Amino acid sequence: MTMTRRESLTLMGGAAATLAIGAEQVQAKTRAPAAQSLNALAQAKGMRFGSSVAGGTGGGTWRNPRNAALVAAQCGVIVPENELKWQAIRPSATSFDFSAFDGTADFARRHGLALRGHTLLWHRPKWMPGWMETHDFGARPATAAAAMMTAHVKTVCARYNGRMSSYDVVNETVLPEGGQLAQTRLSQAMGGTEALVDLAFHTARRAAPGVQLVYNDYMSWEPGNELHRKGVLALLEGFRKRGTPVDALGVQSHLIAPVPGASQQREWRQFIDEVVAMGYGLVITEFDVRDRELPADMALRDRVVAETAKAYCDMMFSYRQLRDVLAWGLVDPFSWLQGFEPRSDGLAARGCPYDSNFRAKPMREAIAAAFAAAPVRG
Ligand code: 9MR
């Protein structure tokens, strides 16, 4: 069932009276653990908390001292927001440039933070480097495409050997509209998307033994994601049938507040149940909450975002297959959400655990409370 905007706003109005109580409960429950870092709370359960960190010179980077201090204090693991993508590290078909990412990797080393690699293959034409569009794959395109994919994975894995705990080997190759696999010039040259993504995983397993290998995608629990989820399940089934070495599903978790209805939540649980039944681990790779459907009132928005985060984390943390939980940025003003589908009233999005003054928001307390309530992993 798809809720219209009007229905969801009516629901919001009705829910508003009870939200205040909900927020007080969240605060009361989390008063004690609030002093502990999110990663310390996670660690107590055999989990880890982390965030993406940008490179470059903006506020969300490791170069911003306040942001760096917050990341170092709250996180046990980080992932580069953009700096390991093909667009960043492949200036041409034959060259690599790691200068942007190396700063982030060095920041992780200095602070004793684990690293996730994002991503060895973002399999959408839009996110390939520009030169790919006109690249000449020659007389034997399948051989040339395989060589390019293999060289890419081997080069990245060799450079960061012993420093990565996990890779998003393939990102977003399932099309959300129908669940089919995306095609790119690389997969077309290779003779098919399955062959290409399988090769990426097999190469990563050999080049980075012992490192968690993840398929990462943004199918979510809101209505409208049914075909996307179906496509992801089909891909994961295919991996198992073909013996492709994939360890976990990366659930990006760019949620849209408010909390979806009970039937949606049931469907989501069924989806995750099917994923873990196939033997896959789970990673929350890019957590944040979009508030563009919520009214302007800041306190109300923060509460509904926190409620959404709490309901989601409670469900996800109940799966012992989930160990790593990464936010896609910790601080509101630096979030990708500010530029992507901005709110129609022009207000800044408030989808991260910390506000523009680096103060913890109710969302931060919701995540803390969910860690406190999570079962211990063995
Ligand atoms: O947050 C990232 C933004 O800064 C980039 O411009 C964009 C394109 O590279 O990618 C964003 O991160 C995406 C991630 O790599 C994959 N999942 C969706 C994320 C948000 O769009």
- In tens, the pLDDT along 303-330 reads 999 999 999 999 999 999 999 999 999 9
Domain assignment present for residue 378? The answer is no
Can you say whether the dihedral through the CA atoms of 305, 306, 310, 316 is positive or negative?
Answer: positive
User: Does the residue 301 lie in any domain?
Assistant: yes
How confident is the model over 185-194, as pLDDT tens digits?
Answer: 999 999 999 9
Tokens 């440039």 — which residue? Answer: 97
Q: Is residue 6 part of a domain?
A: no
CATH number at residue 219: 3.20.20.80
Task: Using pLDDT thresholds of 50, 70 and 90, give the confidence band for residue 32.
Answer: very low
pLDDT of residue 58: 86
Asked whether residue 10 is assigned to any structural domain, the reply reads: no
377 pLDDT tier (thresholds 50, 70, 90): very high
Query: How many Å lie between the centroid of ligand 1 and the Cα of residue 309?
Result: 20
Q: Residue 341: its pLDDT value, please? A: 83
> Is the four-CA dihedral 310, 311, 314, 319 of positive or negative sign?
negative
- Kindly report which listed range (3-12, 130-139, 173-182) carries the lowest average pLDDT score: 3-12
Provide the 3-class DSSP secondary structure of residue 81: coil
pLDDT at residue 82 tops 70: yes
Query: What domain range includes position 117?
Result: 15-373
pLDDT band, very low/low/confident/very high, at 92 (cuts 50, 70, 90): very high
Q: Does 247 have pLDDT greater than 90?
A: yes
How many helices and strands, by DSSP H and E, does the chain display? 12, 9
Between the CA of 127 and the centroid of ligand 1 the distance, in Å, is 9
pLDDT of residue 300: 98
Q: Tell me what percent of the chain is helix, strand and coil, each rounded to the nearest 5.
A: 50, 15, 35
What would the mean pLDDT of 113-118 be, rounded to a whole number? 98
- Binned at pLDDT 50, 70 and 90, residue 57 comes out as confident
- Is residue 114 in a domain? yes
Nearest alpha-carbon partner for 327 in 355, 290, 287? 287
| Minimum-distance ligand 1 atom for the alpha carbon of 335 | 1
Sign of torsion, CA 39 70 287 367?
positive
Residue closest by Cα to atom 4 of ligand 1? 336
Calculate how far, in angstroms, residue 373's C-alpha sits from the geometric centre of ligand 1. 30
Residue 9 is predicted with a pLDDT of: 37
- 290 C-alpha vs ligand 1 centroid, how far in Å? 14
The residues near 188 (Cβ < 8 Å, ≥ 6 apart) are 141
Looking at ligand 1, which atom is closest to the CA of residue 118? 15
Q: Whose CA is closest to atom 19 on ligand 1?
A: 286
**Mean local confidence (pLDDT), 96-103:** 96
Residue 378 has pLDDT above 90, yes or no: no
Between CA 43 and CA 40 the distance in angstroms is 5
Query: Which residues form the pocket of ligand 1, taking CB atoms under 6 Å from any ligand atom?
Result: 81-82, 85, 171, 218, 252, 286, 336
Q: What is the mean pLDDT of residues 153-181?
A: 98
Q: Is residue 76 part of a domain?
A: yes
Centre of ligand 1 to C-alpha 82, Å, is 7
What separation in Å is there between the alpha carbon of 217 and the centre of ligand 1? 12
Confidence at 117, pLDDT banded by 50, 70, 90: very high
Residue 354 CB contacts under 8 Å (≥ 6 apart), including other chains: 70, 330, 331, 332, 360, 361, 364
pLDDT above 80 (res 8): no
pLDDT score for 35: 79
User: Is 2 a domain residue?
Assistant: no
- Mean pLDDT, rounded, for 268-289: 98
pLDDT interval class at 68 (50, 70, 90): very high
For a substitution probing ligand 1, which of 51, 79, 81 has the most ligand atoms within 8 Å of its CB?
81
Distance CA 127, CA 59 (A): 24
Average pLDDT over residues 262-275: 98
Pocket test for ligand 1, best of 85, 336, 338, 340 (most atoms within 8 A of CB): 336
Nearest CA to ligand 1 atom 21: 336
pTM of the model: 0.92
Give nearest CA residue, ligand 1 atom 5.
82
Pocket test for ligand 1, best of 286, 290, 341 (most atoms within 8 A of CB): 286
Residue 252 counted as domain residue: yes
| Ligand 1 nearest atom to the CA of residue 329, by list position | 1
DSSP character at residue 92: B
CA of 72 to the centre of ligand 1 (A): 22
Q: What is the mean pLDDT of the segment spanning 285-290?
A: 98
How far apart are the CA of 122 and the centre of ligand 1, in A?
Answer: 10
Structure tokens at 286: 């890019």
Domain tally for the chain?
A: 1
For all residues of the chain together, what is the average pLDDT?
Answer: 92
The pLDDT of residue 7 is above 50: no
